[in-house]
Chains A and B, each alone.
Chain A
Amino acid sequence: AQTVTQSQPEMSVQEAETVTLSCTYDTSESNYYLFWYKQPPSRQMILVIRQEAYKQQNATENRFSVNFQKAAKSFSLKISDSQLGDTAMYFCAFMKQNSGNTPLVFGKGTRLSVIA
């Protein structure tokens, strides 16, 4: 079974600074996807970024980028130039790749507060 661990329950960062959220996972699979979801206090879960395990290049979406270390089973999220709107719960998620039906496995989340 797959597990996802987010070791930082809460973090804070000053506006305009950079912050990195950690995520590690455990799997015996070779092919899979990793995601970061953001859930602001308004509660809608928003897909921030995705990474295919077979790609060596780290995914980037504007101010959000990941550091994917497949051998170490690590998938951290870096937020650059933090903004007040980045305040949210961030969930790391794992999805096994196959032709069947595999659910998302979520970490417990990291609550990020951006301080003015």
Chain B
Amino acid sequence: DTEVTQTPKHLVMGMTNKKSLKCEQHMGHRAMYWYKQKAKKPPELMFVYSYEKLSINESVPSRFSPECPNSSLLNLHLHALQPEDSALYLCASSQRLAGAPGGEQYFGPGTRLTVT
């Protein structure tokens, strides 16, 4: 089973709203990732969690706040977003850290975010 689930599928929010994206995997993977993807572009890495600890933050603005409550869950808290933050947000997980055997990533279906 290589399933990563994400909720919600679609989200529309105003620039003053606070919302959260949720990602879940039950494959026992120890690394989880958030990506941002604009239309017709490859995914851009935002954050990496390894064993529930933040290990990479790719200089993402503080209006994006990740959280890893346990090894199966990954949240992305959103606050005071800008219209240019509208994108597809993808979650991924891997058995091991990227770079190690078993480091291939499995992606969720994404959340389509629109900031108005």
Contacts and interface: CB of A to CB of B under 8 A. Distances in A.
User: Are both chains from one complex?
Assistant: yes
Interface of A: 33, 35, 37, 42-47, 50, 89, 91, 95-104, 106-109, 111
Contacts, number: 68
B110 A102 contact: no
Nearest to A106: B42
B64 interface: no
Interface of B: 2, 31, 40-43, 45, 48, 50, 55-56, 88, 90, 92, 97-101, 103-110, 112
Nearest to A99: B100
A99 B41 contact: no
Contacts of A45: 43, 90, 92, 107
A95 B99 CA distance: 6
Q: Is the interface of B mostly helix, strand, loop or mixed?
A: loop
Contacts of B48: 101, 103
A58 B58 CA distance: 33
Q: Which of A42, A43, A50, A97 has the most CB of B within 10 A?
A: A43
Nearest to A97: B99
A91 B100 CA distance: 21
B114 to A, nearest CB: 14
A43 B10 CA distance: 12
A96 B99 contact: yes
